A and B are shown apart, each in its own frame.
Chain A
Amino acid sequence: MKSKKINTSKLQDLKKKFEFWATNSEEGGWNISSTDEGSQKMLEVEDEKKVKIQTGTEILDDFVIEEDTSDEERMIVNMGPQHPSTHGVLRLQVELEGEVVRRVKPVIGYLHTGMEKTGEELNYFQGPTNTTRMDYLSPLFNELVFSLTTEKLIGIEVPERAQTIRILMTELNRVSSHLVALATGGMDIGALSMMIFGFREREHILNFFEKTTGLRMNHNYIRPGGVAADLPDNWQKDVQDILNLIPEKLKDYDDMLLDNPIWKGRLQNVGILTTEECLAYGITGPSLRASGLDWDLRKSQPYSGIEKYGFDIPVLNESDVFARWRIKVLEIFESLKIVEQAMNNMPKGPFKIQDKKITPPPRKRLDESMEALIHHFKIYTEGFKVPEGDAYVAIESPRGELGCYIVSDGSAKPYRMHVRGPSFCNLQGLPVIMSDSPIADAVAAIASLDPVIGDVDR
Chain B
Amino acid sequence: MFTPDNILTTTIDKAVRWSRTQSMWPVTFGLACCAIEMMAAGSAKYDLARYGMEVFRASPRQADLMIVAGRVSQKMAPVLRQVYDQMAEPKWVIAMGACSSTGGMFNNYALVQGVDHIVPVDIYVPGCPPGPQSLMHGILTLHQKIMDGEINR
Contact = CB atoms under 8 A, between A and B. Distances in A.
* Most chain B Cβ neighbours within 10 Å, of A89, A109, A114, A115: A89
Interface in A406-458: 453-454, 457
Interface in A357-384: none
Contact of B28 (A84, A110, A113, A117): A84
A196 interface: yes
Given A84-B28, A454-B33, A114 B128 contact: no
A89 B106 contact: no
Interface stretch (B9-17, B108-116, B141-149): B108-116
Contacts, number: 95
B31 interface: yes
Given A113-B73, A118-B108, A217-B129, A199 B32 contact: no
Contact of A112 (B70, B75, B105): B75
A61 B58 CA distance: 36
A218 B33 contact: yes
Given A117-B109, A217-B37, A82 B79 contact: yes
Nearest to A200: B44
A10 B106 CA distance: 96
B37 A81 contact: no
Contact of A137 (B30, B36, B105): B36
B79 A117 contact: no
A80 interface: yes
Nearest to B131: A216
B109 A114 contact: yes
A129 B128 CA distance: 11
Contacts of A195: 39, 43
A295 B70 CA distance: 34
Contact of B76 (A89, A133, A218): A89
Given A81-B76, A81-B79, A217 B36 contact: yes
A112 B73 CA distance: 6
Chain B, interface SS category? loop
Interface string A197-211: 001101100100000
Of the four ranges (under 10, 10 to 19, 20 to 34, 35 or more), the interface on chain B belongs to 20 to 34
Contact of A82 (B28, B71, B75, B129): B28
Contacts of B32: 88, 111, 133, 136, 453-454
Interface in B90-110: 105-106, 108-110
A184 to B, nearest CB: 8
Interface in A135-151: 136-137
B18 interface: no
Contacts of A129: 105
A199 to B, nearest CB: 4
* Most chain B Cβ neighbours within 10 Å, of A84, A180, A206: A84
